[in-house]
Homo-oligomer: A and B are copies of this chain.
Amino acid sequence: MTTITSVDVYDVRFPTSLTADGSDAMNKDGDYSAAYVVLRTDEEGVAGYGFTFTIGRGNDICALAAEQRAEPLVGRDVDEIVGDLGGIYRELKSDSQLRWLGPEKGVEHLAMAAVMNAVWDLAARRANKPLWRLLTDMTPEQLVDTADLKYLSDAITRDEAIALLTELADSKEQRIAELTETGYPCYTTSAGWLGYSDEKLRRLCQEAVDAGYRHIKLKVGANLDEDIRRCRIAREVIGDDAKLMIDANQVWDVDEAIDWVKALAEFKPLWIEEPTSPDDVLGHAAIRKAVAPIGVATGEHGMNRVLFKQMFQAEAIDFCQLDSARLAGPNEIIAVYLMAKKFGVPVCPHAGGVGLCELVQHLSIFDYVAVSGTLENRVTEFVDHLHEHFVDPCIVENGAYRVPMAPGYSAQMHESSLAEFSFPAGSYWAGVAASVAS
């Protein structure tokens, strides 16, 4: 028997605020961070790695919450846990005292994501499969048993979920072969951060086109005149055929969003992302109605499956951008994919930050192979930052994620990265503190 002997949680922060990478109208100075969970066992080489993503301050709070949430795992049999991934999820989430602090949202939910991502990574490694393969090898019944369908039965029943998975079950290998050939299409946000100069924007757009991208995303929402100028530059560089997406990071009220987006309509954006509060289902529905045919996209702050259920029910979004480190691990993410399939909404996962690209490539592949069966209107975010800290980094070629083949969820960081960027004691941050003091 292999036993989980300890849970080590690291507060890892990268000083991205120094270069304005990741700057947008709401988030001007993020330090991309991870509350990083390692499930250690008494068997050499057997461990699970997972994380949630934050942008700096408060990452310690998420780390502490993850430590508490993971406590029931210590001393448990690895094979029992990975043999019932739905059961361990329900056990961890059923702590009623911790539930009060959400429920199922905010810090506690981010912590649950970190822990469950590590549990699934462990399960995939134990099975000697990349996570996407662990998922696509499951039967419809097994998949639905791991999914969290609580509060969703008015949108999708267990039987409906099994039926829609069963439809695609026989053709899975064919789609795996196809993706192994072509990769999964992605788009880049690296070009369009708000803090970049016009010259840098123009150069990065050109580089993106040259690298094979057919979708480019710009941050907007701080100043309308500047947005118009920057959209014009982007359109000039990428041409009329490529897709331009715009992203306001929640800065507007509903009516303001409608007016602003209409003022950018001449640039034919494919979608407006996060036009207003991520909690505002009815607001997104109103915006969507008003700005069509421009699509509405949201989800990186979509707090849980109940929020997404309502986004689907209210026909509030054209693109579902679920976040792999904000939803509570694959258990909840599978439920959102199942609803998205039923309601006919494409899922284009949020990525970027640190490590999110490593996770979402597995999810997008799983979606195409086992749930949606289509690539239509689907494109997964890619940001070319911080991949060097991962043992099994994602690989993007010609505007597409290559299919990852190493066992696990690609979540493991290099020991050297932990040593350098752990906060506040890692060598990088200790150095900053020393230079401030001197």
Interface residues in chain A, defined as those with a beta carbon under 8 Å from any beta carbon in chain B = 26-31, 54-58, 60-62, 64-65, 68, 95-110, 150-154, 250, 253-256, 276-283, 286, 301, 303-304, 306-307, 309-310, 313-314
Give the copy number: 2
Q: Min CB distance, A100 to chain B, in Å?
A: 5
Q: Is the CB of A151 within 8 A of B278?
A: no
Q: Is the CB of B281 within 8 A of A281?
A: yes
Q: Is the CB of B101 within 8 A of A31?
A: no
A239 to B122, CA, bound (A): 59
Q: Is the CB of A97 within 8 A of B30?
A: yes
A107 to B35, CA, bound (A): 16
Q: Is the CB of A58 within 8 A of B101?
A: yes
Residue with the highest number of chain B CB atoms closer than 10 Å, among A60, A64, A100? A100
Partner of A254, one of B154, B282, B304: B154
A96 contacts across to B, CB distance below 8 A:
26-30, 55
Q: Is the CB of A97 within 8 A of B55?
A: yes
Q: Min CB distance, A277 to chain B, in Å?
A: 4
Q: Is the CB of B310 within 8 A of A31?
A: no
Decide: A61 near B65, CB < 8 A? Known: A255-B153, A283-B151.
yes
Please name the residue on chain B nearest to A254 by beta carbon: B154
- Which are the 4 A-B pairs with shortest beta-carbon distances? A106-B106, A107-B107, A56-B97, A57-B97
Q: Is the CB of A31 within 8 A of B97?
A: yes
A99 to B256, CA, bound (A): 21
Residue with the highest number of chain B CB atoms closer than 10 Å, among A280, A301, A314? A280
A30 to B100, CA, bound (A): 9
Partner of A279, one of B27, B60, B110, B304: B304
Q: Min CB distance, A120 to chain B, in Å?
A: 22
Dominant secondary structure of chain A at its interface with chain B? loop
Q: Is the CB of B277 within 8 A of A100?
A: no
Q: Is the CB of B57 within 8 A of A98?
A: yes
Please name the residue on chain B nearest to A276 by beta carbon: B151
Q: Is the CB of A54 within 8 A of B101?
A: yes
A65 to B254, CA, bound (A): 30
Q: Min CB distance, A429 to chain B, in Å?
A: 15
Residue with the highest number of chain B CB atoms closer than 10 Å, among A28, A31, A54, A57? A57
Q: Is the CB of B31 within 8 A of A280?
A: no
Please name the residue on chain B nearest to A310 by beta carbon: B282
Q: Min CB distance, A209 to chain B, in Å?
A: 31
A307 contacts across to B, CB distance below 8 A:
279
Decide: A26 near B154, CB < 8 A? Known: A106-B109, A304-B279.
no
Q: Is the CB of A105 within 8 A of B279?
A: yes
Q: Is the CB of B306 within 8 A of A58?
A: no
Q: Is the CB of A100 within 8 A of B55?
A: yes
Q: Is the CB of B105 within 8 A of A61?
A: no
Q: Is the CB of B101 within 8 A of A110?
A: yes
Q: Is the CB of A254 within 8 A of B153?
A: yes
A1 to B256, CA, bound (A): 41
Partner of A65, one of B58, B95, B152, B154: B58
Decide: A58 near B54, CB < 8 A? Known: A254-B153, A286-B154.
no
A110 to B105, CA, bound (A): 12
Decide: A280 near B301, CB < 8 A? Known: A57-B98, A101-B54, A154-B255.
no
A283 to B107, CA, bound (A): 25
A105 contacts across to B, CB distance below 8 A:
102, 105-106, 279, 303
A57 to B71, CA, bound (A): 12
Q: Is the CB of B61 within 8 A of A282?
A: no
Decide: A65 near B107, CB < 8 A? Known: A58-B101, A154-B286, A303-B279.
yes
Q: Is the CB of B286 within 8 A of A306?
A: no
Q: Is the CB of A106 within 8 A of B98?
A: no
A98 to B277, CA, bound (A): 16
Partner of A62, one of B28, B101, B253, B279: B101
Q: Is the CB of B151 within 8 A of A280?
A: yes
Q: Is the CB of A280 within 8 A of B250?
A: no
